[in-house]
Structure 1
Amino acid sequence: AQIIDINMGCPAKKVCRKAAGSALLADEELVANILHAVVAAVDVPVTLKIRTGPTPERRNGVTIARIAEDAGIAAIAVHGRSRACAFGGEAEYDTIAAIAATVDIPVWANGDIDSPAKAQAVLAHTGAAGIMIGRAAQGRPWLCGQVAARLGGRPVPATPDRDTQFAVLSEHLAALHAFYGDFLGPRIARKHVGWYLTDAGVSAETRRLFNRLETPAAQLALLAELAARQPTQDLAA
């Protein structure tokens, strides 16, 4: 591996129930032990993802960041919610700003960054070295290029037209099939295709139709049929 990224930011219940993900933020001593052990065990950079803390009342992100820096972590990404918040409400960036002002390692801001303008505003507010985009790019991979252009002072590319979006989706779908194989590929593809189609305004009924397909050929054929229709038409029609 070229890099090791430790995820102490996941709020999923099935992860936190096993004292993993963002559940670790409640045990600062254990966090320190894990980070020191991993950094000492590998010869590649180790990075860390965290949240602001276990709960809004206990935002210990600054302390965790100090622990990370002391352990030799190369960079840290911070999601602007606590573990308890999961993805509810809005991300807050004051804690990220405090972390960026405290440590000397790069800090990446994360959470609710869904447009070039929002990315620029979050960077200005936090003083972070960069941003990390997650859910907002699901079904919209071109968002990352748009954000990069805005932050680089270049003209922001327009959102791709419908034909281009379906071409990107088709390429993504074929790549999933090739990587995961004929059995797992179609199953793993369902959520990815769902994100694209939801953003494109495709009906829930058509998305359910896609999710019932079990072979790469059937999925690609249905996607091609949908792409050939007018924007106001739907396979469920």
Structure 2
Amino acid sequence: MARSSHYVAEQLELAHSDAASLVMERGAAAAGLSWPPAPFAPRDAGSLRERLAANPFLMAPMASVTDCAYRMMMRAGGAALAYTEMVSVTGIHYGSDKTWSLVQPNVGEPDLAVQLFGADPEHFREAASQLGEHVGERLALVDVNMACPVPKVTRGGAGSALLDDPVLAARIVRTLREELDVPVTVKIRIGRVPDHIVGADFARAMEAAGASAIAVHGRVASQMYRGQSSADAISRVVDAVSVPVIASGDALNAARAAKLLKDTGAVACFVARGSYGDPWVFRNARRILGGEDALEVTPEMRLAAFRLHVRLLGATGAHIARARSLAGWYLRGVPEAAAWRERAMHCVTLDDYLTLADELEATL
């Protein structure tokens, strides 16, 4: 099915303009961020384990969050690699314009990881064969989501439902390995329910199928995001496989991200919710891991980062409504934060958000 449309053409035009890079170049320093970011280490720089260990803090894939504006902010904050939102291989199979828009990198992104989800190996094969057209040489790796606990994903046999079908999961990994010349990784949970923990056995099966790394969230799917993530359960997966393991779960700030890495023995660590309004979390986690103090993030830096991120939404063609979530995240910790966040809920345009930021700054 043809994927050409005015929508896709507009997205591609925005992605290939230099507007977002200019926004970053002009605003990153005031927010205490760095631009351009260092690319993920190239394949000739060593094994995937060595490349992950060189900068072990990664920006996790998050549905409806990790668009290219978000990825650029987190890379500017020191994330070694940033992931797309979950991309449906079934959507790709049916030629969904919206699905392909999730994959398209902005010209300012040095590279990215694409996370795919689905349950049909042939849909994965189709997706893999077309990724080069949309990402090209900037494709760092492809990850398969075998962790998502949301019913609308698991009802179709995808996400964490694959934990109950390691044979199918292995077929998906082998199919991608046949089509791609970049690492194929998987993201899993330790099980679907508390009385049936399968993390270590499932990870061994994925390694045998050819997975280059395993990302492990230390909760069972039935927990959703409640309760605590188990570092011990992640450690058991680390001990079970020889491929690198990426720890995931409850890395809610820089100190906890560094601790998760130490406690699990994993090679790298995903930061997901801990990056909300905190692009500095990646650089600070590395500092803490190295025995240094985290850098202070001032209210002025928070405001500068908020402005920068909102401008990026405009430069990348993202819907400005996403700025409401950004306001809730970035304005934490500023004086009278609750009142300012409430005001942000009534903003409609890019200028509304920038005016709010100017007015807030005048009170500091």
1:156-175 mapped onto 2 (5 Å cutoff): 156-175=293-312
1:100 to 2:234 alignment: no
Distance in 2, matches of 1:44 and 1:171, equals 32
1:173-188 mapped onto 2 (5 Å cutoff): 173-181=310-318, 184=319, 186-188=320-322
- Cα 1:197–1:19 shift into 2, 3 Å: farther
Deviates more, 1:110-119 or 1:92-101: 110-119
Counterpart for residue 85 of structure 1: 223
Letter in 1 for 2:174: H
Cα offset, 1:75, TM superposition = 1.2
What is the root-mean-square deviation of aligned Cα atoms in Å? 2.0
Task: Report SS of the residue matched to 2:317.
Answer: helix
Counterpart for residue 234 of structure 1: none
Summarize deviations over 1:110-130 as a string: whole Å, max 9, x none. 111234443343233321112
Distance in 2, matches of 1:116 and 1:204, equals 24
Counterpart for residue 195 of structure 1: 329
Counterpart for residue 126 of structure 1: 264
The answer for unaligned runs of 5 or more in structure 2 is 1-138
1:58 to 185, 190, 196: 196
Deviates more, 1:32-41 or 1:75-84: 32-41
- Cα 1:157–1:198 shift into 2, 3 Å: closer
1:113 to 251, 263, 272: 251
More strand per residue: 2
Cα offset, 1:167, TM superposition = 0.8
Distance in 1, matches of 2:155 and 2:262, equals 36
Give yes or no for contact 1:116–1:151 (8 Å, CA) kept in 2.
no
Counterpart for residue 172 of structure 2: 34
Distance in 2, matches of 1:199 and 1:39, equals 46
Q: Where do 4+ consecutive residues of structure 1 move more than 6 Å?
A: none
Distance in 1, matches of 2:164 and 2:336, equals 42
Letter in 2 for 1:172: H
Letter in 1 for 2:177: V
Deviates more, 1:77-86 or 1:41-50: 41-50
1:135 to 2:269 alignment: no
- Scaled by the length of structure 2, the TM-score of the pair is 0.58
How many equivalent pairs are there? Answer: 226
1:219 to 353, 356, 359: 353
Letter in 2 for 1:52: I
Letter in 1 for 2:217: H
Task: Report SS of the residue matched to 1:54.
Answer: strand
- Cα 1:19–1:212 shift into 2, 3 Å: farther
- Cα 1:202–1:145 shift into 2, 3 Å: farther
State the identity as a percent. 36
Give yes or no for contact 2:258–2:286 (8 Å, CA) kept in 1.
no
Distance in 1, matches of 2:277 and 2:212, equals 30
Q: Which gives a bigger RCO, structure 1 or 2 (Cα 8 Å, sep 6+)?
A: 2
